[in-house]
Amino acid sequence: MKKIITNGIIVTASDTYEADICMENGVITQIGMNLSTDGAEVINADGCYLFPGGIDPHTHLDMPFGGTVTKDDFETGTIAAAFGGTTTVIDFCLTSKGKTLQSAIDTWHAKSEGKAVIDYSFHLQIVETNEEVLNELPKIMEKEGITSFKVFMAYKNVFQADDETLFRTLIAGKELGALVMVHAENGDVIDYLVKKALSEGNTEPIYHALTRPPEAEGEATGRAGTLTALADSQLYVVHVSCAEAARKIAEARSNGVDIWGETCPQYLVLDQTYLEKTGFEGAKYVWSPPLREKWNQEVLWNALKSGTLQTIGSDQCSFDFNGQKTLGKDDFSLIPNGGPIIEDRVSILFSEGVAKGRITLNQFVDLSSTRAAKLFGLYPKKGTIAVGADADIVIFDPSVERVISANTHHMAVDYNAFEGMKVTGEPVSVLSRGEFVIRNKQFVGRVGAGKYLKRVRYGKEKNVKEVDSIVL
Ligand code: URP
Ligand code: ZN
Ligand code: ZN
């Protein structure tokens, strides 16, 4: 059925204006003043902003990690994402040495099909670059529409790949038109520091941060940038947490390297002291890279504002405090790394960014949605409000004041990393391809309604890079 949203203020990455939005069969069909409402369901968005649905380019749903499996899966995770104003997630498909890429992707399809309530796609982890893998990559890109590869430079003996693998992945990315993503921390140095700390009897959660110093992130970021330049390829650095890494990205960008950076809400509002909380509570904030000294937050905000960093991911990787984080009660290195962030990503960026005057409304939309759509080959079907685009729309009330809490969140975990934080603004209703998923703060979506999205190649097809014009 035709729907028309009236009285809202449309905000895109470039414009802010009053107009009605008409949608039919899942896409936006008209935008204009006083559109005819004949035969349409009318949705009054008085006092609200209309944002393109958020795109979270960094999630780990139903992922085995740290001797356990993330608590949120594609059902609970995408419901929580929708409550938070996100209508697309791109999850990381993990691969294993010696197994085909296709088998890993099949596993991820099995985890997500029939469960997601919003649209989703996959990035593909690369752990080795032998002939089999390099032969399979173009076929996977064609068949699955996966156009981004992920390499971990940390988590020694688990996910970590060596520099040759990273370099060969960058070359493949260049040849095939895929964006290469890195978790940039020096895993070898961290492994040494972790063993040393434990041998000295230092087992508390704060040692997670102390054994993963910002220099280890800065060094790996710089190295990845240099290898990208050498391969004449393109790179996206996930979860940038500190000044050292942001500066390496700025430096590479100023040298013309095709490098992009993502940060996460947790690095913008929480700091290293959270890991010192008593009663093992610090374990709730153990993820990698770790939280940093507070002064880094201003550097990251400025990097977002100035364009050194371009996106906000959640790095959703949730574990219960009781029973999962507690696996590391006597040894910080056994605490599963990751946090529950997916639901609060958009709200924190709005409240701490826009409401506090650090970024503009249009920058907020770019950071939370548009830029990820462009970089990862979803634009302009996703990431904007335009005729022909999918009707993924967030009706956002900027006047609401509320407090984030595990008592009211929709993630499956037993704590919220932002517990007690006051935020301004809230997604009231969320539509995915023209259908309500959240209506007046209630879930009205359908489990399994989310579609798997095939994406276009980096730099090879229209509008994938930094192009602001809309061509449908
Ligand atoms: O601690 C984290 N970030 N867990 C998820 C895996 C990763 O490094 O992104
Ligand atoms: Zn990571
Ligand atoms: Zn991650």
> What are 148-191's pLDDT values in tens digits?
999 999 999 999 999 999 999 999 999 999 999 999 999 999 99
DSSP string, 274-288: GGG-TTTGGGGG--S
Classify domain 53-380 by CATH architecture: Alpha-Beta Barrel (3.20)
**Cβ-based neighbours of 395, under 8 Å, separated by 6 or more:** 5, 8, 43, 45, 48, 49, 50, 427, 428, 429, 430, 431
Residue nearest to atom 4 of ligand 1 (CA): 338
> Which atom belonging to ligand 1 lies closest to the Cα atom of 286?
1
Q: Helix, strand, or coil here: 163?
A: helix
Burial category of 145 from C-beta neighbours within 10 Å (exposed 0-12, middle 13-18, buried 19 and up): middle
346 lines ligand 1 (CB under 6 A): no
Classify domain 3-51+387-399+424-443 by CATH architecture: Roll (2.30)
CA 13 / ligand 1 centre spacing (Å): 28
Same fold, 3-51+387-399+424-443 and 53-380: no
CB–CB of 450/117 below 8 Å? Answer: yes
CB–CB of 169/231 below 8 Å? Answer: no
Strands (E), 242-392: 258-263, 311-312
Mean pLDDT for 131-135 is: 98
CA 67 / ligand 2 centre spacing (Å): 17
- The mean pLDDT value of the chain amounts to 96
User: What integer pLDDT is reported at residue 464 of this predicted model?
Assistant: 42
Of 191, 462, 217, 456, residue with least CA distance to 333: 191
Name the residue of 160, 315, 318 whose CB sits within 8 Å of the most ligand 1 atoms, as the mutation to test its pocket.
Answer: 315
Instruction: Report the predicted TM-score, pTM, of the whole model to 2 decimal places.
Output: 0.97
426 lines ligand 1 (CB under 6 A): no
Q: How far is it, in rounded angstroms, from Cα 224 to Cα 84?
A: 32
CA 290 / ligand 1 centre spacing (Å): 10
Number of H helices, E strands in the chain: 13, 21
Q: Residue holding tokens 């006083």? A: 34
Domain ranges of the chain: 3-51+387-399+424-443, 53-380
pLDDT in tens, 271-290: 999 999 999 999 999 999 99
CA 304 / ligand 1 centre spacing (Å): 21
337 lines ligand 1 (CB under 6 A): yes
User: What integer pLDDT is reported at residue 472 of this predicted model?
Assistant: 33
Question: With pLDDT > 70 as the criterion, what percentage of the chain qualifies?
Answer: 97
CB–CB of 227/163 below 8 Å? Answer: yes
User: What integer pLDDT is reported at residue 151 of this predicted model?
Assistant: 98
144 lines ligand 1 (CB under 6 A): no
Residue nearest to atom 8 of ligand 1 (CA): 288
User: What integer pLDDT is reported at residue 459 of this predicted model?
Assistant: 74
Residue nearest to atom 7 of ligand 1 (CA): 288
Q: How far is it, in rounded angstroms, from Cα 227 to Cα 234?
A: 10
pLDDT in tens, 458-469: 875 444 444 443
pLDDT in tens, 414-468: 999 999 999 999 999 999 999 999 999 999 999 999 999 999 998 754 444 444 4
Question: With pLDDT > 90 as the criterion, what percentage of the chain qualifies?
Answer: 97
pLDDT in tens, 289-321: 999 999 999 999 999 999 999 999 999 999 999
